[in-house]
């Protein structure tokens, strides 16, 4: 090592990968930068504008063939190995995982932890966890 370096690895820090088979120097592990509150709101705005126009014309909008929130799902942070309990109430009942940030919330009603999480963080894709 270098002078002044400690031998013990830091807790919670990704270690560099070891030399590969060809003996190339290790590359630093890269954190993916992803803001979970950052997805294309313009897509949603277009859908809502169309719905508003259809309502004003007295008609109904044709059903959409896509979900404007699917791009907000963040697969690489999802971990289903945690105990299926709400991160707010510690309840085991009606636990849903937020597919945007990976946290677990009790859901199924207005005023539930999942409902408030969705409003507060603009996260709108959840999946029911079997308990």
pLDDT per residue as tens digits for the range 78-100 = 999 889 999 999 999 999 999 99
Instruction: For residues 102 and 87, give the distance between their C-alpha atoms in angstroms, rounded to a whole number.
Output: 11
Higher pLDDT: 112 or 4? It is: 112
Asked whether 86 and 105 are in contact (CB, 8 A), the reply is: yes
Mean pLDDT, all residues of the chain: 76
Q: Does pTM surpass 0.85?
A: no
* CA-based radius of gyration for the chain: 22
Residue 104 in this model has a pLDDT that exceeds 50? yes
Look at residue 12 in the predicted model and tell me its pLDDT: 44
- As a whole number, mean pLDDT of residues 42-60 equals 75
User: Which of 40-49, 51-60, 65-74, 82-91 has the least mean pLDDT?
Assistant: 40-49
């Amino acid at each position: 090592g270098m002078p002044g370096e400690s031998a013990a690895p830091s807790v919670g820090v990704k270690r560099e990968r070891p030399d590969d088979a060809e003996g190339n120097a290790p590359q630093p592990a890269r954190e993916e930068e992803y803001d979970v509150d950052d997805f294309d709101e313009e897509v949603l705005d277009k859908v809502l504008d169309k719905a508003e126009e259809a309502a004003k014309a007295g008609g109904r909008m044709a059903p959409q063939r896509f979900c404007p929130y699917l791009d907000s799902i963040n697969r690489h942070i999802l971990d289903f190995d945690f105990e299926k309990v709400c991160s707010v109430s510690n309840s085991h009942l009606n636990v849903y995982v937020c597919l945007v940030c990976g946290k677990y919330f009790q859901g199924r009603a207005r005023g539930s932890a999942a409902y408030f999480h969705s409003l507060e963080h603009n996260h709108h894709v959840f999946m029911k966890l079997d308990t």
